Amino acid sequence: MTEAILLAGGKGSRLRPVTLHTPKPMVPAAGVPFLAHQLARAKAAGVTHVVLATSYLAEVFEPYFGDGSALGMRLTYVTEDQPLGTGGAIRSAADALTSGPADPVLVFNGDILTGLDIAGLVDAHQRAGAAVTLHLTRADDPREYGLVPTDDTGRVLDFTEKPQHPDEIVTDQINAGCYVFRREVIDTIPAGRPVSVERETFPQLLAAGALLHGVVDRTYWLDLGRPACFVKASADLVRGIVASPALPGPTGEYLLLPGAQVADGAKLGGGTVVGAGARIEAGAVVEGSIVLDGARVAEGAQVYDSLLGARSSVGRNTTVTGAVVGDDAEVGSANELTDGARVWCDARIPDAAIRFSPDC
């Protein structure tokens, strides 16, 4: 039996307004809450019990996933009254584990989509006899991540969280947000106060001489913290670029959920998903996007690489590119929303109010 802790309590502030009413792991990607893909992948790797460490909007998880029996696994929920950070959340969730002191316990960040061989990571951890084993990947621009240089046996040499100076960039190996802890190591994390596993626990373990082992694996990996990445992850799941047992339909250029309505002459592609009760009208184009339940894309509108919130609407001949439209927002006709635009939930944008003019 393998147990896992899944960190699902962050505020998801970089994903606002999508995360104002929905915690990041519950935002739908390829038709189901992103968390469903992570749980299905964990199950496929032999994980039988997952402890969900929740905090922000904690009440929405259990009504959806219940005790996990529908997924063929056991789910337990541990909620922090105050967010305890990644390390504090791991420590608090560990109270619900049944693993013995030397057993391996998986820990997943709740916002990473990866094709990692999870069972292989556990095997590598056992072979190395490590206190903690970390999945590492390589980044072209590692500044937003935690840098983790290793020696040629995989032993971790250092941690630099979000390096600020070029001198600090000593490797392109980054912490990929999936760990195997020896259970007794979790019990050494201080209880009841905020702890960052990246900034506090790992550097302290290293300073104390513990063996931290890094496994560099360059399989598919995406951090879904920002809207563009979240939308890309959904499109990659729909197209089967990364596999998920939780995909609610066949892979292809688009996925329609039951009750989605697409008029003749509308064009869908690039891994678009259209939610229940959503409507795409004639002559509209929707590429590489997430259209949540009840949203509407009017005639002649064009939507690329964007997320349209539940019950939102995009007016006639409006173009939306690389943008987020919040739940229940209305974007009038003949607007141009471009990369990085975020329309807040319930906002009303009049007709022809926003134009994109790169030369001004």
Pattern 157-196, ligand GTP, x by CB under 6 A: ----------------------------------------
Q: Which of 86, 201, 312, 318 binds ligand GTP (CB under 6 A)?
A: 86
Give the nearer residue to ligand GTP in terms of CB position, either 54 or 319: 54
Task: Compute the residue count for the chain.
Answer: 360
Binding positions for ligand GTP, 14-33, rule CB under 6 A: 14-15, 24
- Shortest spacing between CB 291 and ligand GTP, in angstroms: 23
Q: Which of 22, 55, 99, 318 binds ligand GTP (CB under 6 A)?
A: 55
C-alpha to C-alpha distance for 188 and 174, rounded to whole angstroms: 24
Q: Which residue has the tokens 């009840």?
A: 294
Q: Which of 10, 104, 227, 271 binds ligand GTP (CB under 6 A)?
A: 10
C-alpha to C-alpha distance for 119 and 102, rounded to whole angstroms: 17
Stretch that binds ligand GTP, among 48-56, 64-72, 234-242, 284-292 (CB under 6 A): 48-56
Asked if 58 interacts with ligand GTP (CB under 6 A), we say: no
Q: Which of 32, 39, 84, 124 binds ligand GTP (CB under 6 A)?
A: 84
C-alpha to C-alpha distance for 283 and 43, rounded to whole angstroms: 41
Residue 108 sits at the vertex; the CA angle it makes with 106 and 113, to the nearest 5 degrees, is 130
The two tokens of residue 200 are 């506090």
Question: 287: which strand partners?
Answer: 269, 304
Q: Which residue has the tokens 């109270």?
A: 95
- Residue 17 preceded by cis peptide, ω within 30: yes
Give the nearer residue to ligand GTP in terms of CB position, either 23 or 271: 23
Pattern 208-237, ligand GTP, x by CB under 6 A: -----------------x------------
Asked if 309 interacts with ligand GTP (CB under 6 A), we say: no
Asked if 4 interacts with ligand GTP (CB under 6 A), we say: no
Give the nearer residue to ligand GTP in terms of CB position, either 109 or 319: 109
Selection from 170, 199, 182 nearest residue 128 by Cα: 182
C-alpha to C-alpha distance for 9 and 85, rounded to whole angstroms: 8
Known catalytic residue: 162?
A: yes
Give the nearer residue to ligand GTP in terms of CB position, either 180 or 295: 180
Asked if 203 interacts with ligand GTP (CB under 6 A), we say: no
- Shortest spacing between CB 17 and ligand GTP, in angstroms: 12
Selection from 263, 258, 360, 324 nearest residue 15 by Cα: 324
- Which of the residues 24, 162, 232, 267 is marked catalytic? 162
Residue 256 sits at the vertex; the CA angle it makes with 254 and 257, to the nearest 5 degrees, is 145
Stretch that binds ligand GTP, among 79-87, 264-272, 293-301, 340-348 (CB under 6 A): 79-87
Binding positions for ligand GTP, 97-136, rule CB under 6 A: 109-111
At what angle are helices 34-44 and 227-239 packed, to 10 degrees? Answer: 50
Residues 6+ apart with CB under 8 A from 85: 194, 195, 196, 197
Residue 227, classed as helix, strand or coil, is helix
Which residues are catalytically annotated?
162
Interface with ligand GTP (CB under 6 A): 7-15, 24, 53-55, 80, 83-86, 89, 109-111, 225
